[in-house]
Structure 1
Amino acid sequence: MLDYDGTLVPLAPRPEEARPSPRLLKLLSCLSQDLKRHVAVVSGRRVEELADLLPLPYLFLAGLHGREVLHPAQDSRGSRLRLKLGPPGPPPGVWEEIQAHAERLATQVSGCWVEDKKEAIALHFREADPKKAAQIVATFIRFTQPLVEAHQLEYLKGNKVIEVRIKGIHKGIAVEYFLKLFPHAFPIFLGDDLTDEDAFRMLKGRGLSVLVGEPRPTLATYNLPTPAKVEDFLERLIRG
């Protein structure tokens, strides 16, 4: 189980710039086609994005931090099986209202922009002045908090991004789903972000958890410094 941004590929100023290397695609293809292994990418991105970035038919894809899962298996119409995990979302109009607040604020500071994930809204400020970004984030929380509290949502703070998502949705539920799906497998999870700590927590006392990037306080048991080293690790898995 592998996070995408910051784990399989280096972080980029914009999500569309974080593209997989040819080597990575080859490694994931080899791993996922091995009948003795099951490979999943677990990301905050939507599964449609992941499917475009990683057009490999044997991968499991878990998007929106575990909200949606795309199976390799196809139904009778040739479509891949798609599931939703976790509680139901808010009523119609709530996401649109949160997005409107985010977009209005993002226009006030250069380098801020909004990502509509359909069942989550992310306000990015990676390219913005840190002081101005902090003010925008505080204002965004103040404006949206009544909606968040009323509709069982929550804030998720990541690497220069704040996201509103459904409460109870996190990467740990994706890990739990795969552990139940493959109860006899030896689980491995690699991730770099604070959002990956929920996944590491699910593997506490079992399997292998790996933090990618600079060492920091974490529930992971091992560390790899860069996505390039992750590629080396995947290659070693293939070699056995």
Structure 2
Amino acid sequence: MVISDAKSGLTRAIAVALSESFSPQLLSQYFTRKKLLKKLESYGNGAGINALLDSMRASSPTRRASDAEHQDSWTLRHPSALSMFEEIMNASKGKQIVVFLDYDGTLSPIVEDPDRAFMTSEMREAVRDVAKFFPTAIVSGRCRAKVYNFVKLSELYYAGSHGMDIKGPAKGHRKGNQTVLCQPARKFLPMIDEVYRCLIEKMEHIPGAKVENNKFCLSVHYRCVEEKVRAEFYGLPVYRKLPFRVGKRNAEIESRRKVLEIRPTIKWDKGNALEFLLESLGYTEMNDVFPVYIGDDRTDEDAFKVLRNRGQGIGILVSKTPKETNASYTLKEPSEASYAVSTRVGGVEEMRLSLSLSLSLSLPRQY
């Protein structure tokens, strides 16, 4: 990106500063940092100049200290779930724990091929153990059937398509024999199928691109697409690959971690799925319920927000880097899993909660 400027020599300097590979050595061929900042500040407060100044100041040696301060501040607001274990135990004591787990990046690593996001047998056994004591649900953006084929535990509740496709076990924690089933976006299936066919056709010429049909939503994976052609997956151009109405009325597109998602425009998300499952289990009006939701994705924030607004249970974000979140606690390192299970087991309740809190750390995550 190059910002033109009437002053001779500034154009080249600004171009360098706005480059992702900004080099102080190269910039010094034109101006010293101090001189350039002073000169640019004299040209007013335009958006382009402000962006330039922010970029250059961020590259100064004080950035590391700033990042460290930001990390410390974030950790104070969202402490480690393991370091705050006693506090969580006290809050959950005598209450009905209900466990909600994201899949990709939580129970399995983030991988290049979405069809190979397998969970380990150890992880499966950990989930099985938790489900013996607590109602347990997998809440994922994946197709419900695909998530089930990954997990292979019939005693769980599964909420696929970001909660738009929910089904419970034939026999579970719910009172009565009726199977839990919820598909609020069912009327959008013809539209989703049409968009899927369109995307398959449009993406055929892009090596590495993969279109995944999650039944009530679609995912376009471009993790394996060469960098030089990834521009096709950013901004408005992607809309031209879809039927006219997509992005205007019946569906919306969201960019995630090297994935584009197309979903029906419907007021339903993982937070709604959490509330539906709590209601289906008979816990909506209970004051002694303690939901635990563990996830690493931006879509999990809707569930974290529900728990925060309810004032019940906890949301736990799996992330190594600070980010805005409605979660109360965080988890970072996979190595913390064994510590949680082996050293925090004092009684039955502690063992159960330790297992549930450690699930998201049992596998290294790949990016």
Normalised-by-shorter TM-score class: 0.7 to 0.9
* Aligned residue among 105, 129, 144 for 1:30: 129
Q: Say whether the 8 Å CA contact 2:189–2:216 is kept in structure 1.
A: no
Residues 1-240 of structure 1 aligned to structure 2 (within 5 Å) = 1-34=100-133, 37-74=134-171, 81=179, 83-90=181-188, 92=190, 94-137=191-234, 138-144=236-242, 146-149=244-247, 152-167=250-265, 168-180=267-279, 181=281, 182-183=283-284, 184=286, 185-204=289-308, 205-215=311-321, 216-226=323-333, 229=336, 238-239=351-352
Q: CA deviation at 1:3?
A: 0.1
Code of the residue aligned with 1:191 in structure 2: it is G
C-alpha distance after superposition, 1:127-169 (max 9, x if no partner):
1134522324443223426322565222232211111112223
Consecutive unaligned residues of structure 1, counting only runs of 5 or more, are none
Name the one with the larger helix percent.
2
Say which is worse superposed, 142-151 or 106-115, in terms of deviation.
142-151
Compute the TM-score of the two structures, normalised by the length of structure 1: 0.85
Compute the TM-score of the two structures, normalised by the length of structure 2: 0.57
Cα distance change of structure 1 residues 226 and 131 upon mapping to structure 2, 3 Å threshold: farther
Name the one with the larger strand percent.
1
Q: Say whether the 8 Å CA contact 1:31–1:238 is kept in structure 2.
A: no
Cα distance change of structure 1 residues 91 and 210 upon mapping to structure 2, 3 Å threshold: closer
Q: How many pairs are equivalent?
A: 234
Which of the pair has more CA radius of gyration?
A: 2
Code of the residue aligned with 1:30 in structure 2: it is D
Q: Secondary structure at the match of 1:26?
A: helix
Distance (whole Å) between structure 1 residues aligned to residue 135 and residue 338 of structure 2 = 17
Relative CO higher for 1 or 2, CA cutoff 8 Å, sep ≥ 6? 1
Distance (whole Å) between structure 1 residues aligned to residue 126 and residue 135 of structure 2 = 13
Cα distance change of structure 1 residues 156 and 170 upon mapping to structure 2, 3 Å threshold: farther
Distance (whole Å) between structure 2 residues aligned to residue 106 and residue 231 of structure 1 = 42
Cα distance change of structure 1 residues 17 and 84 upon mapping to structure 2, 3 Å threshold: same
Code of the residue aligned with 1:209 in structure 2: it is G
Q: Secondary structure at the match of 1:174?
A: helix
Distance (whole Å) between structure 1 residues aligned to residue 255 and residue 193 of structure 2 = 20
Q: CA deviation at 1:213?
A: 2.1
Q: Say whether the 8 Å CA contact 2:107–2:119 is kept in structure 1.
A: yes
Q: Secondary structure at the match of 1:65?
A: helix
Distance (whole Å) between structure 2 residues aligned to residue 211 and residue 111 of structure 1 = 30
